[in-house]
Chain A
Amino acid sequence: EDKVVQSPLSLVVHEGDTVTLNCSYEVTNFRSLLWYKQEKKAPTFLFMLTSSGIEKKSGRLSSILDKKELFSILNITATQTGDSAVYLCAVEARDKIIFGKGTRLHILP
């Protein structure tokens, strides 16, 4: 059965810390891995990864995919209170998209 597992489920850190969020997957017909940030209602897109070893970067956020070991990480450096959210990992397969349960990140001021 296809699955996407995120860890940790929740994380509390202080402003300025660096965090690493993990996403592992077992999905047939893998096409891409996506990261989303969900604050209140609608998830907002962060990254799409299709190739191993190529880091995608946007400001303080970066992500990388390892298709051999079937996982991805999302790094956030110099965290700010505005980074508090649920971070969702999703894997797109040939005919569906599977989401992990998310990592709830809380940044303390």
Chain B
Amino acid sequence: KAGVTQTPRYLIKTRGQQVTLSCSPISGHRSVSWYQQTPGQGLQFLFEYFSETQRNKGNFPGRFSGRQFSNSRSEMNVSTLELGDSALYLCASSLQGLGETQYFGPGTRLLVL
């Protein structure tokens, strides 16, 4: 069974731009969650999508948004990028939600200049 895939793997943007990251979950998984990982703050929960609906949300500003498609693939968008948005963005999938084993993708490393 193929694992969670994320594209692109690396991205360089400048302040003020916007970015869209993509996550394809394991086949059959309906829950996709997104995380930001930085050396200072560690791994932080952004939001979770289930059946095309945002079900849970962490404490991030509205510049961070996402969506999920009918095939469970998910995208995360960050608008008006700031230097502090430089991070590794991980997505994870599971069958039903946060209370199960999360299978993580390899991440997208975003650098904002």
Contact = CB atoms under 8 A, between A and B. Distances in A.
B26 interface: no
A85 interface: no
Interface in A76-109: 88, 90, 92, 95-102
B107 interface: yes
Nearest to A98: B45
The SS class assigned to the A binding surface is: strand
Contact of A45 (B35, B41, B58, B101): B101
B43 A99 contact: yes
A32 interface: yes
A92 B99 contact: yes
Contacts, number: 51
Contact of A43 (B44, B98, B99, B104): B104
29 contacts: A32-B99, A34-B102, A36-B104, A41-B88, A41-B106, A42-B90, A42-B104, A42-B107, A43-B90, A43-B102, A43-B104, A44-B104, A48-B101, A88-B42, A88-B43, A90-B43, A92-B98, A92-B99, A95-B57, A96-B56, A96-B57, A96-B98, A97-B98, A99-B42, A99-B43, A99-B44, A99-B45, A100-B42, A101-B42
